[in-house]
Chain A
Amino acid sequence: MARFIARRLVGMVAVLFAVSLIVFLIFNVVPNSNPAQRLAGKNARPFLVKNIEKEWGFNDSLPVQYVTMMKKVFTGELTAYEPRVPVDEEIINGIPATVSLSVGAAAIWLFFGLLLGYLSAIKAGGLLDKLLTAVSVAGISIPVFLIAPVLIYLFTYKIELFPNAGYVPLTENPQAWLSHLILPWITLAILSVGFYSRVLRSNMLDVMSEDYVRTARAKGLGERRVMTRHVLRNSLIPIVTLFGLDFGATIAGTAIITEHIYNINGVGNYAAEAVAKFELPPIIGVTLYGAFFIVFVNAAVDIAYAYLDPRVRLGDTTG
């Protein structure tokens, strides 16, 4: 197990290095205009461009430039230009909101996804099962930017059930925190509920045909016990992987759009605003932060998977 973890961590560092290299290439080497011009944004004043050129050392050799960029990232010197705010501070400020949004949404989609998947597997072919099939196909096709406006229009403007936009820290006012987050949570979670219920259902149907399930029934265990202790438990293992990957992707992907629509001042909205202003330093920072998060979650998932399913780690050390 220790060897497995060590190997996974080395792989993680390698991927992070590759990501930083790609980000560097995108911003400093992609053959187009002057990189300082790009960093400064769309309509930057000439003296700002001059300053940036000196600050980032665009006349140095490429490896030196790469080191300069990474130094800026690690020492927290990466700053946005208008206004001059350090990127790392903004990211740290945004984390509570992003985490509140993602964790809440993940809890909702896991709970409902697993519940519905379990129910539809028990009664495969039933009405709920058919309904969920349709819902899950629709679910993977609905863009966040359709659900969110519809929800905001209905629940904020029409019946005024939830307040409009913004984020209230949990420590400040738990009730306002909750009411501001309910719609964003639903927006993010609704897509995954159908998907997770389908995955769990098909996993459970696969497991139900395993020999040990027959054995469990043969030794006289009750149906509920067979389902929960034998079938459900083993069907959850693949869900762990899926969930880890999805959770990482949510924070570094769909959450950006959701935060932007609901005006939640998280990391994603910070990135979205930087995009709108064509400002690159915050995007560099957020991309690296997102990469770190995804890679970290993926490694954690692999380790959890190896722990839950001995076949993975045994196969890995012998092979």
Chain B
Amino acid sequence: MDFDPQAEAQLSAGIPDPGFPPDPRGVSSEGRGPWFLAYRRFLRNRVAVAFLGVFVLIVIFVLAAPLWAEHVAQSGPNQTHTLEKITVNGKKREVVTPEGEPIGPQWFGAGGKFFLGADSRLGRDEMVRLMYGGRTSLLIGIGSALVTMVVGIVLGLLAGYFRGWIDTVIARTLDVLWSLPVFLVGLALGVSLAIGGLKLGPIELSGGSLWIPVLVITIFTVPYVARPIRGEVLALSEKEFVEAAIAQGASPLRVMFGEILPNLASTIIVFSTLTIANNMLFEAGLSFLGAGVQPPNSSWGTMITVGEELLNTQPLLAIIPGVMILLTVLSLNIVGDGLRDALDPRAKVRLEVHAGMVAPEGEAV
């Protein structure tokens, strides 16, 4: 992104940017770098800051999983308690009744054990599973977003900078991926890999590996990053600073990564948050149908599947993981929106997260 010099001049001349109220603390913008200005604009967006807080809380929540499991619940996430009894407020109660009905939320009645009840007839501690499941979901979301971003940026740079046949090959491949029924093919690949694992040279993944959902999600989300990046690179490589770098004898690699890449920073930051949100929805969808995270491991998606069967008697089992997904995705989307507004108020690129998949403005998957 490049800052519009006119707007910058306007800012430093003390004329308030029409889109933003003047800073209430009266700190002048003079001589401040663009990152500082963006940071200040972001802080002024109360909603985005609040939801950043929500996201940080969620991260703390899932990071605390081992602590809660060891000291409060005294149960691992996959540990079953089918035939056990717990003491609730001095009375003995079965974790799972003989009819197979799991115990409901106990809050602190049993000293924190079964805080949210047991998950199913297996009698696993729902709270512990929620925390560990959140780890899995966030890990897959962030991990696959990282891979998606790196692959998408490299492809976008190569296609946009070299053009010619490289661009044709990359752009056509992305077009094909784009027109696939992403979710269906993702399901197919997920199941296929979950049955046999993956053996590719030195890489060997077992069917239950977390890398499998990461891989599946990455393949299908790369186009949504690579295509907009390619467009930006096409525009940037026309600019004088690229010409100047080439005239100075910089190698293509240096121009791409040293000159063009830094100018993509704001797009990359915004896309990263939105991609995490979107990939988490994708993961939840795959796991919900059984093509993502494999049992006995939990993720928020698989927990909904398990909880759904007891919707009539224990509705919270399905609803709480759903709410967690909603909160995480919502906070990431709002933070992403806020970052875009702060970094580049005139940005045209927009990601719309829609029903589990990302698409740039005007196109939905």
Contact = CB atoms under 8 A, between A and B. Distances in A.
Given A145-B322, A278-B191, A253 B330 contact: no
Contact of B364 (A23, A27, A33, A246): A246
A141 B324 CA distance: 11
Chain B interface size band reads 35 or more
B182 A30 contact: no
A204 interface: no
A180 interface: no
Contacts of B289: 256-257, 260, 272, 275-276
Interface string A10-37: 0000010011001100110011111001
Nearest to B351: A140
A290 B181 contact: yes
Given A32-B198, A143-B329, A149-B318, A27 B188 contact: yes
A307 interface: no
A152 B191 contact: no
Contacts of B181: 248-249, 252-253, 287, 290-291, 293-294
A190 to B, nearest CB: 11
A149 B321 CA distance: 11
B211 interface: no
A241 B188 CA distance: 27
Given A38-B195, A141-B330, A286 B184 contact: yes
Interface string A146-180: 10011011000100000000000000000000000
B4 to A, nearest CB: 20
B329 A141 contact: yes
A276 B290 contact: yes
Given A145-B284, A272-B289, A253 B193 contact: no
A242 B318 CA distance: 32
Contact of A241 (B175, B304, B363): B363
B60 to A, nearest CB: 21
Contacts of B223: none
B345 interface: no
B326 A157 contact: no
A238 B301 contact: no
B11 interface: no
Q: At the interface, is chain A mostly helix, strand, loop or mixed?
A: helix
Interface in B315-351: 315, 318-319, 322-323, 325-326, 329-330, 333-334, 337
A245 B182 CA distance: 12
Given A241-B362, A278-B194, A291-B180, A140 B326 contact: no
Interface string A241-264: 110011011101110110011000
B179 interface: yes
B312 A157 contact: yes
Which among A146, A242, A284 has the greatest number of chain B C-beta atoms within 10 A? A146
A42 B315 CA distance: 31
Contact of A33 (B195, B284, B311, B337): B195
B173 to A, nearest CB: 9
Nearest to A158: B315
Given A246-B364, A295-B179, A275 B187 contact: yes
Given A141-B330, A252-B181, A253-B184, A280 B192 contact: yes
B354 interface: yes
B57 interface: no
A254 B301 contact: no
A97 interface: no
B185 A23 contact: yes
Chain A interface size band reads 35 or more
Which among B175, B334, B364 has the greatest number of chain A C-beta atoms within 10 A? B364
B199 interface: yes
B319 A284 contact: no
A314 to B, nearest CB: 20
Contacts of B160: none
A195 B198 CA distance: 39
Contacts of A181: none
B355 A153 contact: no
Contacts of A150: 319, 322
B196 interface: yes
Contacts of A284: 188
Given A26-B188, A26-B189, A195-B352, A256 B183 contact: yes
B363 A191 contact: no
Contacts of B318: 145, 149
A74 B262 CA distance: 51
B192 A140 contact: no
B233 interface: no
Contacts of A31: 198-200
A145 B301 contact: yes
Contact of B288 (A41, A257, A294): A257
Interface in B196-227: 196-200
A140 B352 contact: yes
A137 B195 contact: no
Contacts of B364: 242, 245-246, 249
Given A30-B189, A143-B281, A253-B355, 17 more contacts: A26-B192, A27-B188, A31-B199, A38-B196, A41-B195, A138-B330, A141-B326, A142-B326, A145-B304, A146-B326, A248-B181, A250-B355, A253-B182, A261-B308, A278-B194, A280-B192, A287-B185
Interface of B: 175-176, 179-185, 187-200, 277, 281, 284-285, 288-291, 301, 304, 307-308, 311-312, 315, 318-319, 322-323, 325-326, 329-330, 333-334, 337, 352-357, 359, 362-365
21 contacts: A15-B175, A15-B176, A19-B180, A23-B185, A30-B193, A30-B196, A141-B329, A143-B326, A145-B325, A238-B362, A249-B355, A249-B364, A252-B184, A253-B182, A254-B183, A254-B356, A278-B195, A280-B191, A283-B191, A291-B185, A295-B179
Interface of A: 15, 18-19, 22-23, 26-27, 30-34, 37-38, 41-42, 137-138, 140-146, 149-150, 152-153, 157, 191-192, 195, 238, 241-242, 245-246, 248-250, 252-254, 256-257, 260-261, 271-272, 275-276, 278, 280, 283-284, 286-287, 290-291, 293-295, 298
